[in-house]
């Protein structure tokens, strides 16, 4: 009697499990075909030489040894680091500030919110064209304003190998802060107003309230935002491709641009795969550190 | 009830699988198999090097897929294709045209993806070496031998651009001599004698200075803001200079020449400004530049442009300047027509190639003001007799010794040229000194050659 019941319940569990797997099947197929197998293939390619159409010849660690001798790789790696370190903190700070301001219920709030979010959804090509004009060394509005203010030799922006990367970083910050502002706005909604009242009663001013109530309770959002921001900034490509094509010289060449160049312009798919593998390791390490560190600084309100 | 559920799930999974597989082949294969029935007399073999029977003219039939760029805008390609279809009424040429700026990328993707292309036009002869190395191009040696094709009317182009490791990978249907265009009206205004077919870069420097009037935005000289044009000018400093093997410090003279014109004489617009304003070859038609160093394809654009009323000043063309102390020569590139290595219509493609890059195609190119790769007396006569062809053109585009930036075609030339362009651009835009540029060029050339 008991056996039969157990058998039936096991059969039901099995059937439910099978149904569950069948529901998951479409998603898994998509993941396997479009993500997992290509990544696996790229990983295998990083140990080989392939020009995209001929034979795949295995060369072991050769690609990785070449990497470290390649000045283009060093330059791209350095540029990517500068880009990440330069944009991520600024985007975080600006988006928190904007979100806190927006949350105060200023008039015409939806208009401001749309205005700040709009660059994020705008086409990168359109943005490049407009900013190319803005950045023009003599006829662009930015330099005209600077010269009117008395700056004698304003930076030549995208024509200068020193200023090209900061120029692209500025565009990135302007473009992305809208998205994270919206993310933080959502995070701010989760903070109960009773805490603010309590703080106000205790005599805390605006800045103290922000520092001791808002920011600590925003740490889960900050955790999410900082990881996403860092990952995407390591992978920056479209802005570089449309605005500067890695130039002038190699001053805005970043890792993904180098990967694209080596694979699709120089037909060295194996070498490009090796570079992308290094990029993957970097992003993975950084994210791992973030996750480990989360216990120390993220407060989850339970 | 349960059976019904299982059936539904299985059918759903099967549909999904077929959908994905169907999608996959669509992305991979691209075009469906459109090879229509081949005539029995025309044998085609997958093992491309075996000899086949020579088909009779009227028996040629089938569909030929041709990949090129700007088909509807330039006109001469259309004329040649239509002439071919007229000669062989049973042949249909299916044209796959892309925009100029994306063509090279698109072609690479189409060839890598195994698309059904039979014949394609490579953007420039420099691209041919990597295309050939990747196995995309059909080697023509056996076909040339079989048909006893006389290659002498192509001049030194075959050896200069198409002979890669003993194999001939295409035929030139277009030759692009680099020449000097000048605005006669501006020269008249400045009371200057027109450039001659014996013009040196040093004379150009002087004349450009006289012509320039920066206050009115008139510049004596214009260079298209792409470093590859400058490199072609600089490589002439030494006859037979090879960017792969020779001392790159030779380029210093050229770089300093261009920078002097830009920074001291102000006879050429600042490179960074020209680049950001995207002042390409069409800017010459504005009538504000005295001279332009460009390829002979521009002759056709100027003649058409004048007819359409885009500009109305008088223009002339002479051979490109050469460096004083060297033997006169000009850079010339050519545009290859090639057969896809994976084509299934070798004989049809070969007949098309011979037509396109041979005498018939050359005559049509001449009528369209373009310099063909194939040149004999008849073609030259057709070129000169073309309505609206200015008298000085023939002298400018014929009879000049030509050079390339390398002495033999090489796989890495493209990459090294890009690298030189990068470093030179940094020098011209004052982001580094000329000496630093040369040092970096030499260092990076070592790296690339050792890759």
pLDDT per position as a tens digit, A63-109: 999 998 899 999 999 999 999 999 999 999 999 999 998 888 778 88
- In angstroms, what separates the C-alpha of A111 from chain B's closest C-alpha? 33
Please tell me if residue A69 touches chain B, with a CB cutoff of 8 Å.
yes
Contacts of A52 in chain B (CB under 8 A): 112, 134
Best of B19, B23, B416, B431 to substitute, by most chain A Cβ atoms within 10 angstroms, is: B431
Between B274 and A218, the higher pLDDT residue: A218
Work out the average pLDDT over A8-14: 88
Interatomic CA distance for residues A94 and A72, integer angstroms: 33
Nearest CA in chain B to A268: B451
Interatomic CA distance for residues B337 and B138, integer angstroms: 11
Q: Could you count the other beta carbons within 10 Å of the beta carbon of residue B133? A: 18
The pTM of the full predicted model, rounded to 2 decimals, is: 0.78
**Cβ atoms of residues A254 and A233 within 8 Å:** no
Q: How confident is the model at residue A174 (pLDDT cuts 50, 70, 90)?
A: very high
Burial B402-432 (b: 16+ CB within 10 A, else e): bbbbbebbbbbbbbbbbbbbbbbbbbbbbbb
Interatomic CA distance for residues B380 and A3, integer angstroms: 99
Q: CA angle at residue A139 from A134 to A140, to 5 degrees? A: 15
Residues 6+ apart with CB under 8 A from B58: B88, B90
- Residue B389 dihedral angles phi and psi, to the nearest 5°: -80, 120
**Cβ atoms of residues B358 and B364 within 8 Å:** no
**Cβ atoms of residues A80 and A254 within 8 Å:** yes
Predicted pLDDT of residue A3 = 80
Please tell me if residue A19 touches chain B, with a CB cutoff of 8 Å.
yes
Reported as a single tens digit per residue, the pLDDT across B167-197 is 899 999 988 889 999 999 999 999 999 999 9
Mean pLDDT of chain A: 91
Can you tell me the ipTM of this complex?
0.77
Of A53, A158, A250, the CB nearest to B135: A53
Interatomic CA distance for residues A75 and A248, integer angstroms: 13
Predicted pLDDT of residue A256 = 96
Interatomic CA distance for residues B297 and B179, integer angstroms: 10
Best of A267, A268, A275 to substitute, by most chain B Cβ atoms within 10 angstroms, is: A267
**Cβ atoms of residues A222 and A48 within 8 Å:** no
Cβ-Cβ contacts under 8 Å between A and B: the total is: 77
Which DSSP string do the residues of B142-194 spell out, in sequence order?
HHHHHHT---GGGTTHIIIIIEETTEE--EEEEEEEEEEEEEHHHHHHTT-PP
Predicted pLDDT of residue B95 = 92
SS3 label, residue B65: strand
Interatomic CA distance for residues A173 and A31, integer angstroms: 31
Contacts of A54 in chain B (CB under 8 A): 134-135
Reported as a single tens digit per residue, the pLDDT across A138-160 is 888 999 999 999 888 888 888 88
Residue matched to tokens 């890495």: B412
Predicted pLDDT of residue B411 = 80
Predicted pLDDT of residue A1 = 67
Task: List, for chain B, all residue ranges whose pLDDT scores fall below the cut of 50.
Answer: 22, 24-55
Return the sign of the alpha-carbon dihedral for residues A44, A48, A49, A55: negative
Cα maximum dimension of chain A: 95
Q: pLDDT exceeding 70 applies to what percent of chain A?
A: 99
* Least confident range of A52-61, A91-100, A135-144, A243-252: A52-61
Of A22, A66, A69, the CB nearest to B13: A22
Please tell me if residue A62 touches chain B, with a CB cutoff of 8 Å.
no
Interatomic CA distance for residues B226 and B230, integer angstroms: 7
Contacts of B432 in chain A (CB under 8 A): 161, 249
């Amino acid at each position: 009697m008991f056996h039969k019941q157990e058998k039936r319940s096991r059969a039901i569990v099995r059937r439910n499990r099978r149904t569950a797997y069948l529901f998951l099947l479409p998603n898994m197929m998509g993941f396997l075909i479009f993500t997992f197998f290509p990544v696996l293939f790229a990983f295998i390619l990083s140990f080989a030489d392939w020009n995209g159409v001929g034979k795949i010849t295995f060369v072991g660690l050769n690609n990785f040894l070449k990497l470290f001798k390649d000045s283009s790789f060093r330059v791209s790696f350095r540029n990517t680091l500068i880009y990440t370190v330069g944009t991520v903190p600024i985007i975080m700070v600006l988006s928190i500030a904007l979100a806190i301001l927006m949350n105060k219920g200023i008039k015409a709030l939806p208009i401001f919110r749309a205005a700040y979010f709009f660059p994020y959804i705008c086409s990168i090509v359109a943005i490049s064209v407009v900013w190319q004009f803005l950045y023009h060394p003599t006829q662009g509005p930015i330099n005209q304003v600077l010269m009117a203010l008395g700056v004698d030799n304003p930076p030549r922006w995208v024509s200068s190998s020193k200023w090209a990367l900061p120029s692209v970083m500025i565009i990135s910050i302007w473009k992305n802060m809208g998205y994270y502002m919206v993310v933080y706005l959502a995070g701010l909604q989760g903070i109960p107003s009773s805490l603010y009242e309590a703080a106000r009663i205790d005599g805390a001013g605006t800045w103290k309230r922000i520092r001791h109530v808002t920011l600590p309770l925003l740490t889960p959002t900050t955790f999410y935002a900082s990881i996403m921001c860092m990952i995407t900034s390591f992978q920056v490509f479209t802005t570089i491709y449309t605005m500067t094509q890695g130039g002038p010289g190699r001053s805005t060449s970043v890792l993904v641009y180098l990967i694209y160049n080596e694979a699709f312009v120089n037909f060295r798919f194996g070498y490009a795969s090796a570079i992308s593998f290094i990029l993957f390791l970097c992003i993975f390490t950084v994210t791992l550190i973030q996750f480990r560190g989360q216990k120390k600084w993220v407060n989850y309100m339970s | 009830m349960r059976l019904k559920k299982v059936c539904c799930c299985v059918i759903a999974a099967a549909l999904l699988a077929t959908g994905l597989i169907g999608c996959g082949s669509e992305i991979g294969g691209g075009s469906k198999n459109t090879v229509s029935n081949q005539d029995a007399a025309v044998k085609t073999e997958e093992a491309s090097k075996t000899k086949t029977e020579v088909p009779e003219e009227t028996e040629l039939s089938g569909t030929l897929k041709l990949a090129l760029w700007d088909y509807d805008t330039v006109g001469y390609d259309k004329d040649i294709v239509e002439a071919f279809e007229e000669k062989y009424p049973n042949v249909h040429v299916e044209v796959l045209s892309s925009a100029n700026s994306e063509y090279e990328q698109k072609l690479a993707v189409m060839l890598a993806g195994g698309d059904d292309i039979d014949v394609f036009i490579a953007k420039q002869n420099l691209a041919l070496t990597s295309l050939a190395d990747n196995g995309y191009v059909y080697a023509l040696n056996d076909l040339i031998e079989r048909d006893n094709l006389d290659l002498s009317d192509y001049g030194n182009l075959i050896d200069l651009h198409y002979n890669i490791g003993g194999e001939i990978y295409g035929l030139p249907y277009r030759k692009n001599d680099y020449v000097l265009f000048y605005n006669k009206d501006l020269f008249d205004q400045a009371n200057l004698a027109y450039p001659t077919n014996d013009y040196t870069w040093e004379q150009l420097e002087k004349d450009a200075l006289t012509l320039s009037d920066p206050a009115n935005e008139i510049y004596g000289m214009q260079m298209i803001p792409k470093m590859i044009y400058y490199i072609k000018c600089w490589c002439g400093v030494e006859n037979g200079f090879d960017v792969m093997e020779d001392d790159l410090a030779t380029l210093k003279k050229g770089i300093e020449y261009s920078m002097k014109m830009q920074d001291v004489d102000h006879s050429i617009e600042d490179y960074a400004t020209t680049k950001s304003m995207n002042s390409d070859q069409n800017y010459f038609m504005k009538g504000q530049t005295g001279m332009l160093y460009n390829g002979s394809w521009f002759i056709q654009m100027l003649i058409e442009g004048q007819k359409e009323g885009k500009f109305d000043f008088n223009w002339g063309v002479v051979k490109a300047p050469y460096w004083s102390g060297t033997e006169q020569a000009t850079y010339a590139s050519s545009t290859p027509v090639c057969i896809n290595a994976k084509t299934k219509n070798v004989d049809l493609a070969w007949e098309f190639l011979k037509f396109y890059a041979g005498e018939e195609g050359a005559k049509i190119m001449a009528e369209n003001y373009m310099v063909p790769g194939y040149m004999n007396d008849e073609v030259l006569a057709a070129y000169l007799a073309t309505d609206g062809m200015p008298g000085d053109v023939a002298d400018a585009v014929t009879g000049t010794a030509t050079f390339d930036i390398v002495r033999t075609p090489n796989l890495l030339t493209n990459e090294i040229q890009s690298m030189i362009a990068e470093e030179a651009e940094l020098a011209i835009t004052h982001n580094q000194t000329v000496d630093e540029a040369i040092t970096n060029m030499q260092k990076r050339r070592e790296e690339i050659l050792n890759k």
